[in-house]
Structures are given as structure tokens and as C-alpha cells.
Amino acid sequence: MTPARQALVDAFDGAGHELWLAGGELRDRLRGATAPASADADFATDAAPDEVERIARALGATVNAVGQRYGTTGVRLAEGWAEITTFRGESYAAGSRWPQVTFGRSIDEDLARRDFTVNALAEHTVTGELRDPFGGRADLERGILRAVGDPRARFAEDPLRVLRGVRFVSQLGFAIEADTRAAMADSADLLGTLSQERVTAELDRLLGGDHPAEGLEALRETGALPLVLPELAAMPGCAQNRFHRFDVWGHTTATVAAIAADGADGRRSFRRWAALLHDLGKPAVRHVKPNGEWGFYRHEIVGAELAAALTARLRLGAREGELLALLVRRHMDRPDPDDGRLVRRFMRRLEGRWRDLLALKRADNASHTYDDRAYHDRLEAACARAEAEEAALLRAESPLDGRELMALLERPPGPWIARVKERLSTLVLDGELAPGDKDGAAAVARRMGGARP
Ligand code: ATP
Ligand code: MG
């Protein structure tokens, strides 16, 4: 135990309160996870929220009180946040967005309010006593996700648990027990009562898990897919052609599973989102080709538009939404690796994200019936070489700026400047104008300036 956590434990004990470790950290330790999925530590206590806050402040800790209405106080320890929740008791208002919270008297009463048996375990922070009133350890060992108590009542009182369930399938690789699965399906209709932020957060965790194909399949099986991702609802059953082993949905989940969950910028789920959305346009554009097979011409163009709308609805963030739409738009690009000009144009269109696109193309190919690995290896080598040796070309800076162009051509500002600069930067990118060659650029600009639109 870290010194900060020990001080917290001692402070609760000294004040005569129980403090139990519960939730993801305990679950992940008991299942022997090497890399726990959980970030924050969850504790349960008999102390009321204001008492929790008082104890934490006396230790000099930073306190987050926004969740106190629901009994949770965030306490900042050296190793991360601890979420300390007063024992819960009693009921939630069925299907309501904001649960009615009342406080319970004992850890067992609290555990009875939790969602799944593997999450309804608690360890006393002083004595080490383990409470397991619902067989959570046995379910952990067998890899089973089972609702605590009456499954129908549990999902009806808080439909977020349906999404938490499929998220745990992805994170833990567990199977959902049959009654629990049936109850999740019965409550899927209630998902519309949840706020978009909570839905998006659970989908994001699902995509970041170690078993995302299983999680996505559980999302479909429980009937939650058309409710939380209606844009993807036409994928299951959308048959493809001889280049594919699966329908669009099977291909999509296989692509998600084949891509590593390690976005270049630390967002674990970024590339997984790109994989999930890459063929979004297929159901809408599917048509019969002259040879009688299904064709999907322009699906990357339609898909990029749909992806932009979807990421905005999910509020994934404006820049992230743009990049995801860009990856969808470009996932069919296939430049000749031996043509430096085409490789550089490809890299520039991707705004520096060519590694993400290559990862997507490789994952996409994993469930095709043909093997494109040799091509992807060549393209990757060509991009890496261009990045190392042709940085100045890739920057594609116009040797003349707007001010210089106006002076040179004696023209007032206007849209012509952007047109000329774009032409000059493309010439630099293509290696036809040396970076910084102002004289060469001026000659081009004069020719263009003469031909007014
Ligand atoms: P994570 O690894 O994402 O932190 P977690 O299981 O710890 O997973 P938290 O959201 O941190 O999930 O919640 C901590 C614990 O609180 C859960 O393990 C569960 O016991 C309980 N809990 C959280 N949300 C709910 C809910 N909607 N309904 C019932 N119990 C819940
Ligand atoms: Mg947690």
C-alpha cells in the first residue's frame, strides 16, 4: 500500500469508520490481471459524504465534491483519485436519469445495490476481510458476468448497466450469464433515457478493451446497437462479395479486433473508432455490379460524411471527429510506393496521420480473402523514408507568402492568394520547386497572375 493510501486508511480507522476497497481495482486484482483495466480506486464507507470530506481535508488532500449528491467524494492521493462512496441502500427510481440515493447501514447492504457479482466484492482495508455475498469470486474464476439479485429489476432501475455490461465483456473477456443477457435485452429500450456523455463514455471504454469484438457482438445481441449506434444498425446482415469473409458487421468487428488499442496520442480507443467507422458507408451505397457481385463504390466518401455526423452526435471532440472522418475518407487510398510524388501527396492528405491509416489498412485486410501485407510493408517503408529524408518537401511551404505575392504582382488581397500559394506548395511537395526558391516561385506566380480567373 502506498503511504498516501495508508494514511487514508488510518484516518478512517482512527475516526471509527469502516473503509472497504470495492469495484474495479479489487476485481482486477482478484482475477489476476497483469494490467488492470481500472484507473481510479473505489472505496465504500459508513461515513457520510461530509465526514469523508472532513477526513480527507484533514489529511491535506484535494477533494472533488461534485458527486456528493450521490454519495461519492473524490479524494486525490499521490497515486491517483480515490472515489469514496457512502454505503448505498434502498432504491433507484425506475428508469430515471438521476437515481434517488439513500444511504445504507452495512457493506453487505451496499454490495446488494451493485450491478454485477464480480463488482459486488469488498475488502476491509484494515482487517483484509473479503465480503462476497453473491458468489462474485466464483464468477470471476469462471469468467461470467451475472447481475446481482433480480436481473430484470437491476437493468430496469438503471439502464446504464446494460452498457456497463457489454463494456465489461470487452474489458474482461467474460461471457454474460443467460438470465442476465435476457434481462439486458429487455431493458435495451430504456437506453434512450441516458445522457449522451454517459453512453459515449461506455462505448469508448468498450472500444478500448482487450476483447472489443466480443463486446460489440454483445452490444448487437442485447439489441442495444440500434439504440446507441443507429448509424451502424444496417451493418449486420449486409452481405459483401468474394473479397470478404464476413458481412459488413462481422468484417467491422474483426477489423476493430485486429487494430491495436494504442492511438499515437495516447487515446487508447482512437484507432478502434476509426476501424469501427471505416465501412460505415457500405450499406447505403451497396449496388449490384455488372458481373453480378455486390459493389461498394464511393463508400469511403459517403462513410466519411456519416462518420463526421456520428462523431459530432457522440461529442467525441471536434478534432478527433475530423481525423476519424479523414481516416474513413482515405482508407481506400493505394499510392504506388515507388512513386515518391504520390507517396508524399498521400501523406499530406493525411495531415501527418499516415501511421494511423496504415494501421487501419492492415487491420482492414485481416478479414479480406486476399493478403495485402507486402504492399502495406512497402508503403510503410516509403512513408518512413519520406519522413526521414524529405521533411522540407513534406512541409510543402509556399516560398512566397501573401504579402510578397501582392507586392510581386501588384494586386490587392483576395482569394487569388490562396490559389497561388496552394499551387506553389504543391510544386514544392512534388519536388518541382525547391523549398524556399523565391525566384522560381515568382516565375510561376507571374504566369498564374497573368491568367486572372
Ligand atoms: P472501472 O475499471 O471502469 O473503474 P469499475 O467496476 O470500478 O470499473 P466504476 O464506475 O468505477 O466501475 O464503479 C465502481 C463500482 O461501483 C463498480 O464496480 C460497481 O460495484 C459500482 N457501480 C458503478 N456503477 C454502477 C451502476 N450503474 N449500478 C450499480 N453499481 C455500480
Ligand atoms: Mg472504478
Asked whether the beta carbons of 97 and 54 are under 8 A apart, the reply is no
Distance 353 CA to ligand 1 centre (A): 35
Q: Average pLDDT for residues 55-74, to the nearest whole number?
A: 94
Same fold, 5-228 and 232-394: no
What is the rounded average pLDDT for all residues in the chain? 93
Task: For ligand 1, say whether the CB of 18 is within 6 Å of any of its atoms.
Answer: no
- Tell me, rounded to whole angstroms, the distance of Cα 126 from its chain centroid: 37
Task: For ligand 1, say whether the CB of 24 is within 6 Å of any of its atoms.
Answer: yes
Distance 110 CA to ligand 2 centre (A): 16
Burial letters 393-425, b for 16+ CB under 10 A, else e? bbebbbbbeeeebbebbeeeeeebbeebbebbb
Residue of the CA atom closest to atom 17 of ligand 1: 23
Lowest mean pLDDT of 9-13, 32-36, 183-187, name the range.
32-36
User: Which CATH number, 3.10.180.10, 3.30.460.10, 3.30.499.10, 2.40.37.10, labels domain 5-228?
Assistant: 3.30.460.10
Domain ranges of the chain: 5-228, 232-394, 402-449
**Residue linked to cell 510503410:** 380
pLDDT tens digit sequence for 88-108: 986 655 555 555 678 889 999
Q: What is the pLDDT of residue 453?
A: 46
Q: Please give the backbone phi and psi of residue 101, each rounded to the nearest 5 degrees, phi first.
A: -105, 130
pLDDT tens digit sequence for 363-404: 999 888 889 999 999 999 999 999 999 999 999 999 999 999
pLDDT tens digit sequence for 276-301: 999 999 999 999 999 999 999 999 99
Dig out the grid coordinates for 81 from the structure.
483519485
Residue of the CA atom closest to atom 5 of ligand 1: 24
Q: Which residues contact 278 (CB under 8 A, 6 or more apart)?
A: 252, 255, 300, 303, 327, 328, 331, 360, 364
From 42, 70, 116, 171, mutation site for ligand 1 pocket: most ligand atoms within 8 A of C-beta: 42
Q: CATH code for 232-394?
A: 1.10.3210
Residue of the CA atom closest to atom 6 of ligand 1: 24
